[in-house]
Amino acid sequence: MSAKRALITGVTGQDGSYLAHLLLGKGYEVHGVKRRSSSFNTGRIEDIYEDPHVENPRMHLHFGDVTDATNIIRVVQEVQPDEIYNLAAQSHVQVSFETPEYTANADALGTLRLLEAIRILKLEDRTRFFQASTSEMFGKVQVSPQDEDTPFYPRSPYAVAKLYAHWITVNYREAYGLHASCGIMFNHESPVRGETFVTRKITRGAAAISLGIQDQLYLGNLDAQRDWGHAREFAEGMWLMLQQDEPEDYVLATGSTQSVRDFTIWAFDDAGIGIEFRGEGTDEKGYCKDTGRCLVQIDPRYFRPTEVDYLCGNAAKAKAKLGWEAKSGVRELAREMVAADIAAIRGY
């Protein structure tokens, strides 16, 4: 039997890189869509990239963009994938307030383009589809913890675009019988998390301050609370969804929630600096317990016009039907990320 063929959009991102590693380990032939950029953007998949000149490479990269319908149709036609994982997105919530139209184009219509490619190429019976939906769709949460039946209330252009992508995936499943599933994923992080998401910004900052190459870290809303898991485990959940006989939507989450403030204290602890927060509102600051030096300050530029204050997921359905459960706690995750950032700065 020939190897299963997977197409991953967003293969150069955090999740795409974990998923590509996972699928190669399972014997898949992996095809990734990567955007052209003026400098290398394949750092996260460097170790698995194979020179196309070697015999029978199992990892292939295709230039592409989910805002370009003709490109997407051609790539899907060439690859004839058994599974498509749609991870491509302008995935930064705050940036979506600055680029709402582009975010809608990539995150909402990009999903539609892939679904239409499956239909136009008559691949409905062959190709299974995974959509990276998000806990941001719950937004101003109505019920806690949030599960597959919790009402949505998106609070950013990103979340609104992702809500369209979520429902268009559900609609194509119901209208055309596609094997299409959405993973409603809560925040998941790792040492290769994008540097401007809050966990990585904090672990890099703590690492750099501990090594004396940065003085202070500026953050936004310290009160925000998130259910943070490990990206490696979420990639496994995505794959499991496409191995089921029936396509369905699943929440992936840890069920445990912490504040940005707590994560900051842990990361500095892991970098060998005890800090405490004093003050209120925008005057709240994080001070080194030993030296009294101010290391963390609030910069209101990182506040969002509308914020998601609290998220906590209930992944009971994924546990019951997929046998999936988050194992890593956020405390260990902070430790792993700080250690990786310290090693990176030292050049190990």
Enumerate the active-site residues.
134, 136, 158
By the 10 Å C-beta count (0-12 exposed, 13-18 middle, 19+ buried), 331 is classed as: middle
What mask of x and - would describe binding to ligand GDR in positions 306 to 345, judged by CB under 6 A? -xx-------------------------------------
Binding flag, residue 156, ligand NDP (CB under 6 A): no
Contact track, ligand NDP, 21-60, x by CB under 6 A: ------------x-x-x---x-------------------
Nearer to ligand NDP, 117 or 185 (CB): 185
Cα–Cα distance for residue pair 229/213, rounded to 1 Å: 29
Q: Is residue 109 near ligand NDP by the rule CB under 6 A?
A: no
| By the rule CB under 6 A, 67 interacts with ligand NDP | yes
User: What is the dihedral angle through the alpha carbons of 167, 155, 262, 347, rounded to the nearest 10 degrees?
Assistant: 70
Site for ligand NDP in 302-331 (CB under 6 A): none
Interacting stretch for ligand GDR, rule CB under 6 A, among 40-48, 104-112, 133-141, 175-183?
133-141
Near ligand GDR by CB under 6 A: residue from 34, 44, 155, 201: 201
For residues 206 and 338, the answer to whether their CB atoms sit within 8 Å is yes
- Taking CB under 6 A as the criterion, the residue among 66, 76, 330, 333 binding ligand NDP is 66
Per CB under 6 A, which of residues 68..97 are in contact with ligand NDP? Answer: 87-91
Question: Contact region for ligand GDR (CB under 6 A) — 19-27, 276-284, 300-308, 312-320?
Answer: 300-308
What does the buried/exposed string (b/e) look like for 291-306 if buried means 16 or more CB atoms within 10 Å of the residue's CB?
eeeebbebeeeeeeee
Q: State which of positions 163-222 bind ligand NDP (CB under 6 A).
A: 185, 187-188, 194
The contact mask relative to ligand GDR for 251-270 (x = CB under 6 A, - = no) is ---------x----------
Among 104, 109, 132, 253, binds ligand NDP (CB under 6 A): 132
Segment contacting ligand GDR by CB under 6 A, of 143-151, 218-226, 237-245, 328-336: 218-226
Phi, psi angles (nearest 5°) of residue 152:
-90, 150
Does residue 304 bind ligand GDR (CB under 6 A)?
Answer: yes
Q: Which residue type does 269 have? A: D
Residues that bind ligand GDR (CB under 6 A): 91, 93-94, 134-136, 186-187, 196-198, 201, 219-221, 224, 226, 260, 302, 304, 307-308
Residues that bind ligand NDP (CB under 6 A): 9-10, 12-16, 33, 35, 37, 41, 65-67, 87-91, 106, 132, 134, 185, 187-188, 194
